[in-house]
């Protein structure tokens, strides 16, 4: 250990080196989410041009070489020399952290990127980045590269190859950014076409009249390579898309306007479902964790409908007000606000923190809802909403009583778990794991094979209820669901408290067949609807049991898919025996521990939500009441001719 601590021990990171040293501070993660965050940073800049009236077309192209190109037809980046730094504005923007044109409101009334680090971070984390600017009838170009010193192996991030140069004359207008993520930074540098496409479609809904073009040059079929999104209906079209496979009971309600230096847009439509679906955005950026804009919206909705319920006689003087959850049951809503100086929690912008936004949204929304509800032409829809809310309140009261019973630890908590949950001895929740196991047979093996110091087992003795089709009181009546709630300890819905979670990892362990997939879908639907932070905070996993066991003498190899099996057969040679596992119950405790439960060798898939709106639609399609959308989805994506993917290697391949 060094005894002297002096000035020479202080490291100063030059330029963009800090970004490469600690990428998580700027993009959250070096996994798929962080990789695509690079795209969003550049797209957000183009969106800022569009939302402020300077552009009406944005293109994103995924290229064969692994790079991504973003084009807009806006004003084009400034190209003149910066008065203090003596280099072009393009070079400043792409090499200096906290440099940009969005710190005041002169160039952009509303903007998503206010930190001034987006463009420079993309440059810092890329192998190379090119910038083409078309403005003032001139085409300008500049290239940046991250260069590694062959002797020291130190990487200089985002270094300009040459000053900004004039390429030629042009009548085009706008900016083209092309970058290739650095393989030395990211776990995987391959972009997901679905992820990018879904986000562009979402942006098209939020920016009506702006055309978004997505091209994936990696796809050979020209008919599938290009997609365009343009929605003149804006938020109404967005809500219609979200409710496409639901049964709606009201017409969409659209509210738009400017107030106190903010732009507020809301679209609301009610369905016959039992859960709420609220998606919020600030300056086009999703805020899945909510924030002050959502709080203000919910408060206004609750007050306006309670006032209307009293005026219309649905609530008498002696009656208590209905809760906000009652009025939001079955509600699908998109809330989009534009704020001049948004304060997000971190660079990845998951939650809005501006305290002044709540009262502005609440007052503005309350006034418009009151006017809407007083209009005679809206009375029938308002009555349907009130009737639904009153029924929801009755269910809520029944549910509250059930929860009270649970808290008192009587039959709701104790009885179903007697002889069912095998808890662990460890008391540190951060180290503990809960395996939710399909079937008593597999549950018995898991109980015997586990490490009881930190692994708990909860067997399912039947399929849990599909929570997408039932009210909460009906869901709570299901014994399997009640057992899970009690085992986890967090409560559900409005009572959910992640700090009370008893297990850091909640692992769904089911067979690798259709029934197992159905059980996983049912459990994930329940977690998504009533314990969403379990997923968003990374506590839910799916166990991956092996499909095959290859045995030759005393040597055995477990294979989790057909590719691994073929590799194992090549390596083990002739004279092997092959076992195909059809279910967890076929494994003895030692095999289950070795393959699926041992942290040293098991494979787990962490469940996450990359796109909230698409997750909402998939839950509705696969688990909702309507049969046709589910049938259409199955026929579109299921391969009924594929009975078994396994094609054993030939004797010649084994010899090779």
Task: Give which of 65, 400, 23 is closest to 185, Cα–Cα.
Answer: 23
| Residues pairing with 459 in the sheet | 437
C-beta of residue 522 within 8 angstroms of C-beta of residue 464: yes
Residue 495 annotated as catalytic: no
**581 vs 288: CA distance, rounded Å:** 40
* Range list of H helices, 181-334: 193-206, 222-225, 235-242, 292-311, 324-328
Cβ neighbours of residue 534 under 8 Å, at least 6 residues apart? 488, 490, 498, 501, 506, 527, 540
> In which element (H, E) is residue 606 found?
strand 604-606
Catalytic residue, chosen from 194, 258, 515, 632, is 515
Q: How far apart are CA 515 and CA 608, in angstroms?
A: 22
3 state SS for 149-181: CCCCCCEEEEEECCCCEEEEECCCCEEEEEEEE
Q: Rounded to an integer, what distance in angstroms lies between the CA atom of residue 226 and that of residue 214?
A: 6
Contact 262, 339 (CB under 8 A): yes
- Concerning whether 438 is annotated as a catalytic residue, the answer is yes
What are the phi and psi torsion angles at 548 (to 5°)? -135, 155
The catalytic position among 411, 513, 590, 632 is: 513
Q: Which of 405, 434, 425, 437 is nearest to 531 (CA)?
A: 434
- Judged by DSSP in three states, 281 sits in strand
CB atoms within 10 A of CB 206: 22
DSSP state of 321: P
Neighbours of 494 (CB within 10 A): 13
Grouping H, G, I as helix, E, B as strand and the rest as coil, residue 22 is: coil
DSSP codes of every residue in 447-504: HHHS-TTTEEEEEESSPPP-TTSS-HHHHHT-HHHHHHHHHH-S--GGG--GGG-S-S
> Is 245 a catalytic site residue?
no
Catalytic site residue from 44, 362, 438, 612? 438
Catalytic: which of 49, 216, 511, 611? 511
Query: Residues 89, 95, 96, 98: is their CA dihedral positive or negative?
Result: positive
The side-by-side arrangement of strands in the sheet containing 331-338 is 253-259, 262-270, 331-338, 277-282, 285-286
Active site residue 513: yes
Q: Are 149 and 156 in contact (CB under 8 A)?
A: yes
**Catalytic amino acids?**
438, 511, 513, 515
């Amino acid at each position: 250990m060094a005894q002297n601590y002096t000035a020479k021990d202080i490291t100063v990171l030059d330029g963009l080196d800090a970004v490469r040293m600690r990428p998580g501070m700027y993009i959250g993660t070096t996994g798929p989410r962080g990789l695509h965050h690079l795209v969003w940073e550049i797209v957000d800049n183009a969106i800022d041009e569009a939302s402020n009236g300077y552009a009406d077309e944005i293109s994103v192209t995924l290229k064969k070489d692994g790079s991504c190109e973003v084009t807009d037809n806006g004003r084009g980046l400034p190209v003149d020399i910066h008065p203090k730094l003596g280099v072009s504005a393009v070079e400043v923007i792409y090499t200096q952290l906290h440099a940009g044109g969005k710190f005041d409101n002169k160039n952009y009334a509303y903007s998503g990127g206010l930190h001034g680090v987006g463009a420079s971070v993309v440059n810092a984390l890329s192998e190379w980045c090119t910038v083409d600017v078309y403005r003032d009838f001139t085409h300008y170009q500049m290239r940046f590269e991250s260069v590694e010193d062959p002797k020291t192996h130190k990487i200089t991030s985002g270094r300009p190859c040459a000053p900004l140069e004039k390429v030629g004359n042009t009548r085009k207008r706008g900016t083209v950014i092309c970058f290739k993520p650095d393989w030395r930074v990211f776990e995987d540098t391959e972009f997901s076409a679905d992820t990018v496409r879904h986000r562009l479609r979402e942006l098209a809904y939020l920016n009506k009249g702006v055309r978004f073009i997505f091209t994936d040059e990696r796809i050979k079929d020209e008919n599938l390579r290009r997609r365009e999104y343009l929605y003149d209906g804006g938020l109404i079209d967005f809500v219609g898309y979200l409710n496409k496979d639901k049964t709606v009971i009201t017409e969409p309600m659209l509210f738009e306007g400017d107030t106190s230096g903010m732009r507020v847009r809301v679209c609301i439509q009610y369905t016959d479902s039992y859960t709420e679906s609220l998606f919020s955005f600030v300056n086009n950026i999703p805020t899945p964790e909510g924030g002050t804009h959502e709080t203000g919206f919910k408060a206004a909705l609750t007050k306006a409908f309670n006032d209307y319920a009293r005026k219309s006689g649905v609530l008498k003087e002696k009656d208590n007000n209905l809760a906000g959850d009652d009025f939001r049951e079955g509600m699908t809503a998109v809330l989009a606000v534009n704020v001049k100086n948004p304060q997000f929690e971190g660079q990845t912008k998951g939650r809005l923190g501006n305290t002044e936004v709540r009262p502005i949204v609440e007052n503005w929304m309350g006034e418009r809802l009151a006017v809407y509800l007083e209009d005679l032409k809206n009375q029938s829809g308002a009555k349907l909403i009130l009737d639904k809310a009153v029924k929801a309140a009755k269910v809520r009261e029944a549910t509250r009583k059930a929860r009270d019973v649970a808290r008192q630890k009587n039959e709701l908590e104790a009885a179903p778990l007697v002889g069912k949950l095998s808890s662990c001895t460890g008391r540190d929740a951060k180290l503990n794991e809960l395996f939710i196991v399909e079937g008593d047979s597999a549950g018995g093996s898991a109980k015997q094979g586990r490490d009881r110091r930190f692994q708990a087992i909860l067997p399912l003795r039947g399929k849990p209820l599909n929570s997408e089709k039932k009210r909460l009181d009906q869901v709570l009546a299901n014994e399997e669901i009640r057992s899970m709630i009690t085992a986890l300890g967090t409560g559900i819905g409005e009572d959910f408290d992640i700090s009370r979670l008893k297990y850091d990892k909640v692992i769904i362990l089911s067979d690798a067949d259709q029934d197992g997939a159905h059980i996983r879908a049912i459990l994930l639907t329940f977690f998504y609807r009533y314990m969403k932070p379990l997923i968003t905070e990374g506590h839910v996993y799916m166990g991956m049991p092996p499909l095959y066991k290859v045995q030759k003498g005393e040597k055995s190899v477990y294979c989790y898919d057909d590719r691994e099996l073929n590799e194992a057969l090549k390596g083990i040679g002739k004279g092997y025996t092959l076992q195909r596992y059809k279910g967890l119950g076929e494994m003895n405790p030692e095999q289950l521990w070795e393959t699926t439960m041992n942290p040293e060798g098991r494979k787990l898939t962490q469940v996450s939500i990359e796109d909230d709106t698409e997750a909402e639609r998939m839950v509705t399609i696969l688990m909702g009441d309507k049969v046709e959308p589910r049938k259409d989805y199955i026929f579109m994506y299921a391969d009924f001719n594929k009975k078994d993917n396994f094609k054993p290697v030939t004797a010649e391949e084994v010899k090779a």
